[in-house]
Structure 1
Amino acid sequence: MSELVTERTTAPVYQGATGGLPPQTNLLSDRAVVTEAYTVIPRGVLRDIVTSVFPEWEGARAWVLNRPVASGATTFAQSIVEVAPGGGSKRPEPQAEVEGFVFVLAGELTIAVDGAEHVLAPGGFAYLPAGAAWTAANNGVEPTQFQWIRKRYEPLSGHTPRVVVGNEQDIEPTPMPDTNGAWRTTRMLDPEDLAFDMHVNVVTFDPGASIPFAETHVMEHGLYVLEGKAVYRLNDDWVEVEAGDYMSLRAFCPQACYAGGPSRFRYLLYKDVNRQIAL
């Protein structure tokens, strides 16, 4: 029991992108996989030469992890954005109909929205409704990195989403049923609030914990590994993943995982929810 308590009270880790280039002596083989059911982008391919510069941003670059493509996940875009000290944007979101979710991996990011400023440290997050006027700035002395998830909002009569700001470390994780707390979910948006058409969670597995069945569901996933390593079952393949890896899962891709240790396994999870299927 003492080992389990120690594991759950360890300070969280938020793996970011390292950039750079591998040495010329490296082999070309890697763990990157693209299929019609899922995509795996290992951390080793998030290099300087694959970054983009977004309009309306200064002192910033981005690794685009997901965009809607044929035979892939289509409901969202996801990027790692790195902002140098003094950088940022006064108009980060170019589309008024698009909502956003920001999750800080390293450094500090100042988000200004609804007349208030929020300084987000690692683990800090902000949900930014479609149409909200917000700005982002790195007012610190070190580079900051954050996950930026964007989705075209699907309005629902009688339900209006609000700005939500916090830190995942301040939220009590919810143990999954019949797991003795070895598998738990930190929900940063209220799962019962129909105003939200997406959820973003931090999912944690203790060593040896698993998803013991192949989840097969309509929700798409963007899954970024924050800490640890595991083996994921995707469609009919076993895929090893570690901190800094990213997975994009299309609707109905069978998925399960096993956290082999030696440390806990944690990831940031996006999914689309709470809307009827448009026909």
Structure 2
Amino acid sequence: MSYLNNVTGTREDILTTRSVMKRGSYAILEPDGLVKNMIPGFEKCAVTIMASPKLGASFVDYLVTAEPGGGNTKGFGNPGEEIFFYVFEGKVKVWNEDKEAEVTDGGYIYCPEGKKLYFENIGDTDARAFLYKRLYDRVEGYEAYTVIGNINDVPWSYYEGMEDVLVKDFLPAATDLGFDMNFHILAFKQGACHGYIETHFQEHGAYVYSGQGVYNLENDWVPVKKGDYLFMGAYCLQAAYGVGRGEDFAYIYSKDCNRDVRL
């Protein structure tokens, strides 16, 4: 086991962290202190486990760094699980029993329940990716299917009519009830914010890949920035402002959808 930011040894100052842990409600994980894990099936990969049921999430999020030639060619995914894999940077071959493709920065694959994910870094440099798994909520008469694409090919849309908050969707969940979850990218221009503080049943796992923001989580105003991970549980009060200079405040996040509540 080693650390995500590769910082070890004695610190010159007292130990501090921006991370916040409120299990079942919300969490913010800054890179400092996060560990790399060795997981069976992942070869020449550093894997960091972010959200999990131990945190109160109904899903698991991972950050994956694959060295050249690294990946998972034995297959990732247990019975009943759906998988989403997004490449931040690198050249990666992705496949399941239905489809295969070579993807680069912004490329992704969604594997429905019963279709294991396989991937291999076929580039000359490290590949960085985001990995997600969740138990699929099956409904009779509907079925999800494999999706491979690149988010850079998807145009931005105004988020709820706001020209300074932009969104992209990865999966066709808005029109296809076979999908019980979706991934999105949300980007805030400087000073932009949500139109209201949200309160909803759905959960989020979010990774900030650009800029800086201030997030309201259960009425705690918390600064976040590029490299931070956020978990937001069901009914967590939530809203954000884009702050900082230079690049937009932007993050990739998951959201469960299209299902009634099971008792």
TM-score range (shorter-chain normalised) is over 0.9
Partner of 1:4: none
Counterpart among 154, 160, 163 of residue 143 in structure 2: 160
Q: Quote the offset at 1:119 in angstroms.
A: 1.4
Is residue 268 of structure 1 aligned with residue 239 of structure 2?
Answer: no
- Aligned amino acid, residue 22 of structure 2: T
Partner of 2:160: 177
Q: 1:29 to 1:182 in 2, by over 3 A?
A: same
Q: 1:26 to 1:84 in 2, by over 3 A?
A: farther
Q: After alignment, is 55-64 or 238-247 more displaced?
A: 55-64
SS of residue paired to 1:215: coil
Q: Quote the offset at 1:168 in angstroms.
A: 0.9
Partner of 1:87: 70
Partner of 2:37: 52
- Aligned amino acid, residue 184 of structure 1: L
The whole-number CA distance in structure 1 between the counterparts of 2:87 and 2:153 is 14
SS of residue paired to 2:53: coil
The answer to whether the 8 A contact 2:77-2:117 is kept is no
Partner of 1:41: 29
Q: Which structure has greater strand proportion?
A: 2
Partner of 1:13: none
Counterpart among 185, 192, 202 of residue 219 in structure 1: 202
Q: TM-score with structure 1 length normalisation?
A: 0.87
The answer to whether the 8 A contact 1:212-1:257 is kept is no
Is residue 19 of structure 1 aligned with residue 1 of structure 2?
Answer: no
Residues 137-169 of structure 1: per-residue CA shift (max 9 Å, x gap): 111111111100100001111111111111111
Q: 1:43 to 1:134 in 2, by over 3 A?
A: closer
Partner of 2:168: 186
SS of residue paired to 1:169: helix
Gaps of 5+ in 2: none
Matches within 5 A, 1:1-279: 19-21=5-7, 24-36=11-23, 37-46=25-34, 50-69=35-54, 72-114=55-97, 116-179=99-162, 181-190=163-172, 191-262=174-245, 263-279=247-263
Gaps of 5+ in 1: 1-16
- Aligned amino acid, residue 89 of structure 1: N
Aligned-CA RMSD value: 1.6
The whole-number CA distance in structure 1 between the counterparts of 2:69 and 2:160 is 45
Q: TM-score with structure 2 length normalisation?
A: 0.93
Q: Quote the offset at 1:18 in angstroms.
A: 5.6
The whole-number CA distance in structure 2 between the counterparts of 1:115 and 1:189 is 17
Q: Quote the offset at 1:112 in angstroms.
A: 1.9
- Aligned amino acid, residue 129 of structure 2: F
SS of residue paired to 1:66: coil
User: Larger RCO: Structure 1 or Structure 2 (Cα < 8 Å, ≥ 6 residues apart)?
Assistant: 1
The whole-number CA distance in structure 1 between the counterparts of 2:62 and 2:156 is 25
Residues 226-274 of structure 1: per-residue CA shift (max 9 Å, x gap): 1000000000211000001000111000001111232311100111111
SS of residue paired to 1:91: strand
